[in-house]
Amino acid sequence: MRSAPGSRLYCPYCYEDFAEQEIRFRCTGRISRDGRHCDPEIDEVLRGRTGFSGALPPVFAANGQLTSAPCPRCGAGTTTRVCPACHSQLPVHFGKVRSRLIVLVGAKESGKTVFMTVLVHELMHQLGEQLKAAVSGADDSTRHRFASEYEKPLYRESQLLAPTTTAGMRNRVPLVFRFTTGGHGLFGLDGWLGRSWPGRGGPQHTLLSFFDPAGEDLRSQQSVEQNVRYLAAADGVVLLLDPLQMRGARQLAAPGSRLPTPGTTDDEPATVLENITDLILATGGRKPNELISKPLAIVFSKMDVLRHDLRDTSPLRRPAVQAPYFDERDSQEVHTEIQRLLARWEGSRIDQIAQLHYRNYRYFGVSALGETPTPDNRVSARGIRPYRVADPFMWTLAQLGAIPVKRG
């Protein structure tokens, strides 16, 4: 991922950083003009990083700034570029287009996997249409995994997704999506706040990498530090918190709602925010007294079970704005509303932590499913009806200067 032209890149699969010229190539395995070819072999680097154990043509070093290179063994040309650290195939245009890394983190049972699945599904359907954008998997694995392991169970079989396993599993590869809009700036509008970069007139691509760590990984500083690399590489962080893990909110849940297992102190949203903050601080690059400038979207999930308790004038009781831009005023109203609710939910400590450490944070209230799941872990028979799931994503992109903002 490129944070600015000329700077170091972050692999969207392993999050290691490297310079563009360090990008490597993978031979196509086809017969070259002079009749030679490379046999597929097990790529130990790829297997070590991702668990993929199939045989592939070999990887070789060349000038990664070029889009193609001849294989030194067989002479056949290839355009398959791979990460020098993990050997994952890099998306088309990687390093050549502006890319954003958005990391989704959250506590155990906060609904990260469901949230991500619903968000991507929405981007592929209604939201994509609304934003005049197209979202697709950036590689075969993402396309296949998202369709078969995420979208199909949730949307076609109405089955809630199994809890994510712990990050110790080496073959948990992030899902990487390409977010494409028409030319003349994202969303076809002039909204780049004066910024410009090559290719502005043609289609614009943004790579989104979703790393979905297990909730258990974020309960304590000890397990979180394994994921510090992902946070260090992130351009924006979306932190999903379960308000029902807060005592004050839990008792307000609508009768019949499915409540999460009461957690320990480590599961409390404020503790999770503290841990994330410690990690971001540990990534370095700032003075001791400097606030964190990385945008942090603090998202409260499962708002459907608390909806009945909201005031009639609450912004969380009106439809989300459906427009091809980010509506700052609507977002500010939601932010203020959540601030007010935090006091009611006995969660003011969250606001104190956020104020003391972050220059740029925003609260959101969302519901991925729209209704509490059934006791047998299924989506309600009335289907999935997401509410405001795109708000944190839109805000993060807006903070990164990637979409236009409507103020006032």
Partner 1 sequence: MPWDREQYRLEVLEPARQAGNVPPADLYVRYGLPSDISDPVAFGQQVHEALDYWRELRSRRIYGRLAEALIARHAELAQDGPLTLEKFTERHAQARREQIDQLARLADAEAGAATHVGPATVARLRSALGRSVTDAEVTDALQRAGVRVVATFPQLPAAPHPKQADLAEHVRQLSKRLSAEVVFGDAVRHGFRVLGGFRLADSRRLDEAALDQARRQAGALPYSAPGKATTENVLAILRGAGRTPGDLDALLLSEVIEWLRQFAGRGFVQRAIAGQARELGLVEDEAGLIAAAMFAGGTLEPARQQVEEELTAGRLRTAQRLAAGLPADDLLRERVTALDAQVTVLVRSADQDLARGRRELAATRLAEAARIAGDDAGLAERLAALPPPPPRQASARVDGDHVLVSWEPSPAQAGRVRYRVRRGLDRAPVSPAEGTAVAAADGRNDVTDTEPPLGADLIYSVFADRGGEACSPPATAQSVVFAPDVTGVSVTAADTSVAVSWHAHPGTDAVLVVRGEGRPPRGTDDGTALEASLAGLTDAGLRTGTEYFYWIAATYRAPDGGRRQSAGIVVPAVPEPQPEAVTDLDAAVLDDGMPMVVASWTPPPHGQVRLAVSDERPPWPAGTRIGRQDAAGLTEISAPPRRGGDGRDSLQLRLPPGRHHLLALTWGASAIVVGNSAEVSLVGPVRDLSATRMHDAVQLAWVWPRDATDVVIRWPGGERRCSRRVYDDEGGVTITVGPAETCIEVRAVYPHPSGRLTAPAALVRVPGRGVAVSYRIRRAGPLHPRQRIVELTPERPTHLPALVLVRTTGPYAPDDPAGGETLGRIEPQPIAPGRPVTITVELPKGPAWLACFVDPDVPDADARAFLLFPPPAGEMRIR
Q: Applying CB under 8 A, which residues contact partner 1? A: 16, 18, 44-45, 48-49, 84-87, 121-122, 125-126, 155, 168, 170, 220-223, 225-226, 228, 307, 312-313, 317-319, 329, 332-333, 336, 339-340, 343-344, 348, 351, 370-371, 381-386
Report in angstroms how near the CB of residue 385 gets to partner 1 at its nearest: 4
Report in angstroms how near the CB of residue 31 gets to partner 1 at its nearest: 27
Pairing of strands 326-327, 405-406: parallel
Taking residue 141's Cβ as centre, other Cβ atoms within 10 Å add up to 17
> Which residue's CB is nearer to partner 1, number 184 or number 328?
328
Q: How far is CA 127 from CA 69, 118, 321, 379, in A?
A: 39, 11, 11, 21
Q: What stretch of H or E contains 230? A: helix 228-233
> Which residue's CB is nearer to partner 1, number 11 or number 97?
11
Asked whether 208 and 176 are in contact (CB, 8 A), the reply is: yes
Report in angstroms how near the CB of residue 372 gets to partner 1 at its nearest: 13
Report in angstroms how near the CB of residue 390 gets to partner 1 at its nearest: 11
> Which residue's CB is nearer to partner 1, number 84 or number 111?
84
Specify whether the backbone of 273 is left (phi greater than 0), alpha (psi in -120 to 50) or beta. alpha
Contacts of 360 (CB under 8 A, 6+ apart): 293, 294, 295, 296, 399
> Which residue's CB is nearer to partner 1, number 74 or number 86?
86
Return the residue matching tokens 């983190």.
Answer: 105
Report in angstroms how near the CB of residue 156 gets to partner 1 at its nearest: 9
Q: Which of 359, 57, 343, 101 is nearest to 351 (CA)?
A: 343
Report in angstroms how near the CB of residue 83 gets to partner 1 at its nearest: 8
Asked whether 227 and 278 are in contact (CB, 8 A), the reply is: no
CB neighbour class for 289 (10 Å; exposed up to 12, middle 13-18, buried from 19): exposed
β-pair partners for 78: 69
Q: Which of 223, 260, 258, 255 is nearest to 240 (CA)?
A: 260
What single-letter amino acid sits at 67? Answer: T
Report in angstroms how near the CB of residue 258 gets to partner 1 at its nearest: 17
> Which residue's CB is nearer to partner 1, number 30 or number 311?
311
CA distance 351 to 182: 38
DSSP state for residue 226 in the 8-state scheme: G
User: Interhelix angle for 269-282 vs 348-357, to 10°?
Assistant: 10
> Which residue's CB is nearer to partner 1, number 28 or number 332?
332
> Which residue's CB is nearer to partner 1, number 133 or number 384?
384
Distance of CA 346 to the CA centre of its chain: 28
Report in angstroms how near the CB of residue 94 gets to partner 1 at its nearest: 16
Taking residue 149's Cβ as centre, other Cβ atoms within 10 Å add up to 15
Distance of CA 317 to the CA centre of its chain: 26
> Which residue's CB is nearer to partner 1, number 204 or number 271?
271
Report in angstroms how near the CB of residue 200 gets to partner 1 at its nearest: 31
> Which residue's CB is nearer to partner 1, number 12 or number 185?
12
> Which residue's CB is nearer to partner 1, number 53 or number 126?
126
What single-letter amino acid sits at 403? Answer: I
Report in angstroms how near the CB of residue 165 gets to partner 1 at its nearest: 13
